[in-house]
Amino acid sequence: MSHAAPVRPISIDDINAARARIAPTVLRTPLVKLELGQGAPDVRLKLENLQPINAYKLRGAANAVAMLSDEARRRGVWTISAGNAGQGVAYAARRAGVPCTVVVIGSAPEAKKARMKALGATLLEASYDRAWQALEERAFPGVEGTFVHPFDDHDFIAGHGSIGLEILEDEPATRAVICAIGGGGLIAGVGSAIKALRPEIKVFGVEPETAAPAALSKKMGSPQRFAPWQASFVDGAGGQSMFPRMWERLKPVVDDYFVVSLDETRAAMRLLAEKARVIAEGAGALSVAAAVKGMAGEGPVVAVVSGGNIDLKKFCELVTK
């Protein structure tokens, strides 16, 4: 079992350095106004679905891989993923010439597994519960190399912080930012950047009703397990529990947590396709579902569209239901 370094704040210097480091690998994604008509909140879309792997995880993965020592590069990297973190680490590792293994959650969509393989990753399948255990232990039988945690990793989170810098540059009048929460790495990074530079801007997390440990933890005042957890098409967000280390990271940088229904998430996926011609996976549409409901106020509200990795047939079924 590998031991995690103590949690420390993600500084603005860490985030600026990460941004420079990952610039050759990641896309500086656009911030686009979602035209909702009169009387609706002013919603802007941060389109991370446009990254080369169609998800924000490339930012953190590129930074984590760039920080490896020569010896660590030779030994290779591994991660645990339902799809997007695995693609991010595999993409960054391939660019750096580093071997990559992904312990993939068996229920992950076939499209995501195929893309990880295409990026040169060796895949090992595990059940959801076994993978979650490995996340806590930072170890998995038979896997060697440097473990890149898909959310609780300082360098990974610093990479995601670059999203916050871009938002503030493109829309200085931003009043709130909403990010989906799975493990919490995205919002930890974005929140750290926003609160360092513009602490008055609200940072909100959002989860699906079927998997909302962060909202429950906020209500109870401590990290909680979400007993009624259910798998859903929102496979890139909503964990079974809030990691105590992530709770420590999120407390100073997140103002509150929202919960949206699966129907609201589906409606947001459809809205994004109709109004903005954007394909978002379930997790990518959570922030939009909360924003259009006015949960974060009148705006400008930035909804981070975290990813668009969804099988097209599945997407069509969901949005035409």
Residue 78: helix, strand or coil by DSSP? strand
pLDDT above 80: residue 223: yes
Distance, first Cα to last Cα, the chain: 45
Assess whether 266 and 126 both reside in one domain: no
**pLDDT value at residue 84:** 85
Mean pLDDT of 303-308: 97
Q: Is residue 312 a part of any domain in this protein?
A: yes
Assess whether 174 and 199 both reside in one domain: yes
Q: Is residue 242 a part of any domain in this protein?
A: yes
**pLDDT value at residue 1:** 60
Assess whether 131 and 278 both reside in one domain: no
Q: 86, 114, 147 — which closes off a domain?
A: 147
- Confidence label for 111 from pLDDT (cuts 50, 70 and 90): confident
Question: Taken in order 111, 116, 120, 125, is the CA torsion positive or negative?
Answer: negative
E strand segments, the chain:
31-34, 43-47, 77-81, 100-105, 122-126, 146-147, 176-180, 202-208, 256-260, 301-305
Q: Is residue 4 a part of any domain in this protein?
A: no
CA dist., res. 189 & res. 197, Å (int): 13
Residue, of 240 and 44, whose pLDDT is higher: 44
Q: 147, 178, 212 — which closes off a domain?
A: 147
122-144 tens-digit pLDDT = 999 999 889 888 988 999 998 98
C-alpha triplet 21, 104, 26: angle, nearest 5°: 20
Mean pLDDT of 183-206: 97
Domain span at residue 158?
12-55+154-320
Assess whether 281 and 197 both reside in one domain: yes
Assess whether 112 and 210 both reside in one domain: no
Assess whether 127 and 71 both reside in one domain: yes
Q: 122, 147, 172 — which closes off a domain?
A: 147
Contact 301, 175 (CB under 8 A): yes
Assess whether 206 and 252 both reside in one domain: yes
Q: Is residue 2 a part of any domain in this protein?
A: no
Contact 203, 190 (CB under 8 A): yes
Domain count, the chain: 2
**pLDDT value at residue 18:** 98
What does pLDDT average to over the chain?
94
Q: Is residue 5 a part of any domain in this protein?
A: no
Contact 205, 268 (CB under 8 A): no
225-234 tens-digit pLDDT = 999 999 899 9
Q: Is residue 7 a part of any domain in this protein?
A: no
Nearest by Cα to 91 from 123, 115, 67, 126: 115
Assess whether 242 and 310 both reside in one domain: yes
Assess whether 216 and 118 both reside in one domain: no
Q: Is residue 273 a part of any domain in this protein?
A: yes
Residue 46's identity, in one-letter code, is K
Assess whether 104 and 202 both reside in one domain: no
Q: Are strands 202-208 and 122-126 parallel, antiparallel or unpaired?
A: unpaired
135-176 tens-digit pLDDT = 889 999 989 899 999 999 999 999 999 999 999 999 999 999
Residues in contact with 210: Cβ distance below 8 Å, sequence separation at least 6, in sequence order: 228, 229, 230, 231, 232, 234, 238, 262
**pLDDT value at residue 235:** 86
Q: Is residue 307 a part of any domain in this protein?
A: yes
Nearest by Cα to 250 from 307, 298, 207: 207
Assess whether 141 and 201 both reside in one domain: no
The structure tokens listed for 227 are: 């007993």
Assess whether 24 and 169 both reside in one domain: yes
The CATH code of the domain that includes 174 is 3.40.50.1100
